[in-house]
Each structure stands twice: as C-alpha cells, then as structure tokens.
Amino acid sequence: MTEDERYDRGLQIRKEVMGAANIEQRLASDSEFMRPLHDMISSWAYGEVWAREGLSRSVRSLLVIAMMAATGRPHELRAHLMGALNNGCTQGEIQEVLLQVAVYCGFPASLDAHRIAEQVFRDHA
C-alpha cells in the first residue's frame, strides 16, 4: 500500500469515526504548521491502527476514551467521546470505562472525564 492509499483509507476512517464535517472543518483550518501532524494522524493512527481488524471501532473508541481521561487530555477526550457515540458506544459503556479510570488512574481524572462526558451527552442529545 502506498502512503497516499494509507492516507486516503485513514482519512475515510477518521471521517466515519469523528464525523465528516468535523474532520473537514479541522483540515480546512489547518495551518502549514499543523498540516504534517494531521497527515500523520490520518495515515498512521487511522490508516494503520484504526484500520486493523483485531478490535472493533467501538472497542477502540472506549480504549481511547480511557487513555485521554487518564492522561488529562480534555480536548481530545471530548472529540473521542463524540467519536464513540458515532461508533455506537452507549453512555453506559462510556460510564463504565470512566469508572475504571477512577480505580486505576485516580478519582480526579475520572471526575474531570465524567464532567466532560456529561457535557458531550447533553450536546449530542
């Protein structure tokens, strides 16, 4: 597979997971500084890892939510919560993941993530 094919495949998956309008808006507003990073995200994160068949997209979404909550990345957590809902994850599944975060990463991380999730759920309704 060529790098262009990997990018195209990744961009398609990225749009399916995160919402086409969201990704198109992000890419349209890219600066020359940000463009290489977004190209890497589309090619590597989505064109390689998200394209693998070993896990479903919903499981991948739940894993990313846990990692973003654990590492204190609120902007990406918010984006991936929307992606998880797009992938068919339920609020109950997301809640369970965030409870696991409380046990293994600390209550403050889980509290912050719960607050962000509640806002996303309200906005998504």
* Start and end residues for every CATH 1.20.1290.10 domain found in the chain: 54-125
CATH topology of domain 54-125: AhpD-like (1.20.1290)
Q: How far is CA 91 from the centre of its chain?
A: 15
Looking at residue 109, what is its pLDDT? 97
Q: Hey, what are 46's tokens? A: 């989505």
Residue 1 has pLDDT above 90, yes or no: no
Cα gap 42→11, rounded to integer Å: 5
Residue 125 has pLDDT above 90, yes or no: no
Contact 98, 56 (CB under 8 A): no
- How confident is the model over 73-99, as a mean pLDDT? 97
Span 21-76, pLDDT tens digits: 989 998 999 899 999 999 999 999 999 999 999 999 999 999 999 999 999 999 99
Cα gap 43→80, rounded to integer Å: 18
Contact 71, 79 (CB under 8 A): no
Which residues have a Cβ under 8 Å from the Cβ of 60 and sit 6 or more positions away? 49, 50, 87
